[in-house]
Structure 1
Amino acid sequence: MWLTRVISNKPKIDNNKALVFDEKALTTCFCRKARRKEKEGTDSSSSGDSKLYLEATVLERKLPEMDMRILVDLPAGLDYNEWLASHTMALFDHVNLVYGTVSEFCTASICPDMTGPGQKTYLWFDEKGKKTKVAAPQYIDYVMTFIQKTISDENIFPTKYANEFPSSFESIVRKIVRLLFHVVAHLYAAHFKEVVMLGLHSHLNLTFAHLTALHHRFSLIDPKETEILKDLEVALHLSGECAEAAANNNDKLEDTEKSDECRTQSTEDTSGDNKS
């Protein structure tokens, strides 16, 4: 039932090859802003203060010529929920892929808190609404487990003919996209150095650009949450794309509402959504 996944050219990593990193060259690349503390247990989120991801040498993104507005714009006559499902699946795959490559550097001792840039701390809200402070790897495990379970649920992400999306589908997507944003924020704040070492920064930048464009097109995340990576949005020249998309957002959504009854379901109350 879903569309073909939006981005299919995932980075290929040869697990049979030993990866050898030149620490001195990497330090020079970052203008000596990235010296990792050797002591195990040091909170690596402190490296986020230097914002290595804003260095000119790492601002490339995979498929730089791609206009993200076109990527996320809802084609005429296409089901709104179907479109959101396709993009949500693609984003989950790519965030999961990038995090998986650096997960060995994200441990409870290195990342005792789930942080984003500027020492932003995310708390996990369980099914009963209880908030808990957990280490970053535990938080991300909760996120990925929740998303995997959700997208595998036929009652939420239907794949069989005649099965309908639930009326709360958009609110569920909002939660998923927001949680993926938290993971992306942590990658930039705490593990961007490792991402660069693996040569995956252009893929992470493209994933961020995709998530940002989707958010701006359909207003999926509270702007207060995305503010922490606003500087990266500007550095990657996404602001112009997003501003124009936002300017056209109301008109296009109005057209969609007239042609697709599913769009009316997206106004369901989202008060039950976990917020971190």
Structure 2
Amino acid sequence: MAASSPTEHASGQTSSTALVTGAASGMGLAVAERFLAEGWTVLGVDRDGDALAKAASDLGFAFRPVPVDITDRAALSTALDRSHGLSGATGLRAVVNAAGIYPPTTLADFDEAAYRRIFDVNVLGTLNTIAETVPALRTAGGGAVVNFASIDALAVSPGQLLYSASKAAVVTLTRSLGVELAADGITVNAVAPGWVDTPGTRAGGRIEQAVATIPLGRAARPEEIADWVWKLCDGSYMTGETLVISGGLTVR
């Protein structure tokens, strides 16, 4: 797997390219910043065009915004190919599927619309992104895919019925694609964060109470999750695995 094949970048420097979904905020933004700090070019994918434009303004020319909804594969293909020539790219070496949604659901209150929204973003969006980027990874001679699962895929939380199920699906597709893409030199792994201190998590109103249950006594910082994503992309013998990053929460 190689994260070391450089491509020419606008400043005259060389850079590998990473594609990051959910790149406008939270852990996706932290992942984008981590790759940029390593000298990579980042294709930042997000459906929130305004937030993505702000990220591009803050992060500079090496962050290339791709405003598109990953649940629409045709639109994703068009956005990547027309705007960035991805189908002919040789420098794409990493794909990080950080986009996700987590509205609460239970058996008593779920409906078909909630099911489709959660699975469309968390599962179908991940599959669409991998399907549209694997040809470029193959052209580059291999690379890494990192999917965002969740601790809820392994140790479920009350009120997260469909979210937990969707992230369990991400764990399984990670295992399947780890096998399917191994011959192409493409590793496929997942991270399963526990509680992470992001604006979205804080908006849910449960993080303060949850921190008391974490052996390390705090939520993770987005940058800490991004560090593990980087390690999985910067050369790895692992594939098909899910790395739990929970501050010790799952060992209880």
Name whichever structure is richer in helix by fraction. Answer: 1
TM-score in terms of structure 2 length: 0.28
Greater percentage in strand: 2
Q: TM-score, normalised by structure 1?
A: 0.26
The structure that has the greater radius of gyration is 1
